[in-house]
Amino acid sequence: MKFDYDLFVIGAGSGGVRASRVAAAHGAKVAVAEEFRVGGTCVIRGCVPKKLLVYGAHFAEDLADARRFGWDVPECAFNWKTLRDNVLAEVDRLEGAYGETLSNHNVEVIRERAVVTGPNQVRLAGGRTLTAKLILIATGATPVVPSFEGAEHGITSNEAFHLDRVPKRVVIAGAGYIANEFAGIFHQFGAHVTLVNRSDVILRGYDETIRDRLLTISIMKGIDYRFHVKFQRIEKREDGILLVHMEGCDTIEADCVMYAIGRTPNTADLGLDSAGVQLDDKGAVVVDADNKSTCDSIYAVGDVTNRVQLTPVAIREGQAFADTLFGDKPTRVDYENIPSAVFSHPPLAGVGMTEGQARNKLGSVRTYTSDFRPMKNVLAGRNERALYKLVVNAETDEVVGLHMIGPDAPEILQAAAIAIKAKLKKSDFDQVVALHPTMAEELVLMR
């Protein structure tokens, strides 16, 4: 049977773009359908614009610290619209660059919603039906919006980048990385932030001592936390003020409520049942180690599979898919020791097993910590302390986890993650001469 395309990709985010580009480079005839904007969550409404807001927020502390370093800094006013518009302009530039990359690799970009209508067939929103030998689902995930009276008055991270002004009082629902990152951003821009969560655990999955340190520092900065709290309803007054009624906590007045309670795979109304594609209980596409679904001609990569919701993982999966199916280079993604970071204030990062995970899995564990005040914080008169932690297999001396919180922690961890991936021992760390004076030298000085 002759198909219109060798590969039809639904979703032009990080995973879909990489898979399309590489498959086309291998000689495949490829089309990718995107109903919103090329670039996906990370580029358009996620990591990239978020990190630019984080940079902008850091200037609040940097300007204050500069005075202690001899700089005559006048009182500075922050203009949200200037930052917002510059960030959105950068997003526009990146979207153009992604589209150009696809065009340069002879990938046809179809700016319409596409749904699956069979194992080898898709239908576009405009009515056209197209066929493909293989279909790749790379539709990503979308923020969860809770269901209760007045929930429509809240926003998600998607809308946070388009606000007209920085709200004076923000309530953030959730305690994961998105919640903590935006708590830091809004706080530095002068908002009063209240973070509410159903449990008393923040950043589930990160090392307990590191996340406890972030909680302590955040509370010292003035961010409020309300734990063991459930939303009942949100009431919008005539003056626009939101009254947030909760179970387990007094009613809070807010100018903005933001939901950061997780992300759900974008599989609704995608027609996957028409091809016998199995979804799990969270709506994610079930795939095997080669990204194949329960339909032999349909594959999926990235957040829509709900394996590891990280941009670089989606890119690796897209590359592996294209190399395996079109490049005659069978490749599988290694999910062990994936580094991750939270761009909070201060940021934290980790790779490998937490202390708790190591004790459960290995039994015999040694930990090494360095709890110190970064040199810059000392002169700035800032009491904020950094914390680094090595988790070591006591029997083999292998460093199985590295976790840190403090200035530039994600930048430091990216290089250090190579050592964890390479299964280096604590003795290997000890043999490295310290690079002084740096914060990172603490990694090789723990005894």
Sheet of 242-247: strand order equals 230-236, 242-247, 249-254
- Residues 410, 347 contacting (CB under 8 angstroms): yes
How far out from the chain centre does Cα 65 lie? Answer: 29
Task: Check if the beta carbon of residue 399 is closer than 8 Å to that of residue 391.
Answer: yes
Buried b (16+ CB within 10 A) or exposed e, 347-377: bbbbbbbbbebbeeebeebebbbbebebeeb
Tokens of 47: 């990591």
Beta bridge partners of 249: 246
Residue 117 CA to residue 275 CA, distance in Å, equals 7
Distance CA 447, CA 430 (A): 8
162 is catalytic: no
Neighbours of 31 (CB within 10 A): 22
Query: Catalytic one among 58, 153, 187, 436?
Result: 436
d(CA 420, CA 202): 25
Q: Give the catalytic positions in this structure.
A: 436
